[in-house]
């Protein structure tokens, strides 16, 4: 009878040690993810120290040091060559669930070569998928070429479609056929 009790105690200790190891590994991964070693082009994650929603264009080292210290105090500031590059940072503020991602697209302006257009989209997992209910502060930072003007625009939040049926065709085919028949053809018939 003493053996089952000892096994239970050992099992409990193993569970306790495993849980401690998992928590330690998680904390180490969060700290390690904040440190940037070597060249980089994009940084993203779920744990910024900036709790409000904001978009920032950084074009000098002093501003970059301030933004980085607010984002990840106590970690080394990643290197940026501000004579050729700028940094665009998007902070979504505090969210109540994990799995929020920021997609960033950078485009050269077609009319003004001294302008960059940066578009970002907040992507959340579909409502039926599993996401941990934890407080997160998603962020993304990208290096962009140096430009006189950098504009940042947000798209509406979108969901990732997972196993959703295709949308129904909203147009009435009879109306479309009638419209096409009324248009003269290019070959003169």
- Per-residue pLDDT at 171: 57
Q: How far is CA 46 from the centre of its chain?
A: 8
Mean pLDDT of 73-77: 91
Q: Report the half-sphere exposure of 77 (CA within 13 A, side-chain side).
A: 15
Structure confidence by residue, pLDDT tens digits, 107-154: 888 888 899 988 898 887 766 666 667 788 999 999 999 999 998 888
Q: Which residue has the higher pLDDT, 81 or 158?
A: 81
- pLDDT for position 14: 47
Q: Average pLDDT for residues 91-96, to the nearest whole number?
A: 88
Q: What is the pLDDT of residues 47-64, one digit of tens each?
A: 899 999 999 999 999 999
Q: Which residues contact 39 (CB under 8 A, 6 or more apart)?
A: 79
Per-residue confidence (pLDDT) for residue 5, from 0 to 100: 38
- Residue 22's pLDDT is 47
pLDDT of residue 133: 74
- For the chain, which residues make up each domain, given as ranges? 1-34, 38-162
Mean pLDDT for the chain overall: 74
Tell me how far apart the alpha carbons of residues 7 and 167 are, in angstroms, rounded to a whole number.
Answer: 57
């Amino acid at each position: 009878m003493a053996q089952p009790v000892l096994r239970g105690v050992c099992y409990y200790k193993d569970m306790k040690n495993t849980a401690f190891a998992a928590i330690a590994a998680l904390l180490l991964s969060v700290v390690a993810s904040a440190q940037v070693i070597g060249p980089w082009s994009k940084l993203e994650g779920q744990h910024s120290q900036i709790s409000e929603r904001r978009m920032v264009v950084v074009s000098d080292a002093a501003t970059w040091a301030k933004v980085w210290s607010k984002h990840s105090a106590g970690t080394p500031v990643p290197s940026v060559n501000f004579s050729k590059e700028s940094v665009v940072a998007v902070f979504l503020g505090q969210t109540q669930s994990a799995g929020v991602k920021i997609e960033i697209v950078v485009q050269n302006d077609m009319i003004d070569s001294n302008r960059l257009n940066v578009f970002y989209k907040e992507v959340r997992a579909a409502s039926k998928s599993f996401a941990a209910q934890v407080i997160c502060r998603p962020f993304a930072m990208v290096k962009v070429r140096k430009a006189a003007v950098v504009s940042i625009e947000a798209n509406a939040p979108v969901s990732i479609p997972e196993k959703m049926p295709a949308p129904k065709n909203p147009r009435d085919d009879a109306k479309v056929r009638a419209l096409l028949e009324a248009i003269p053809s290019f070959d003169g018939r």
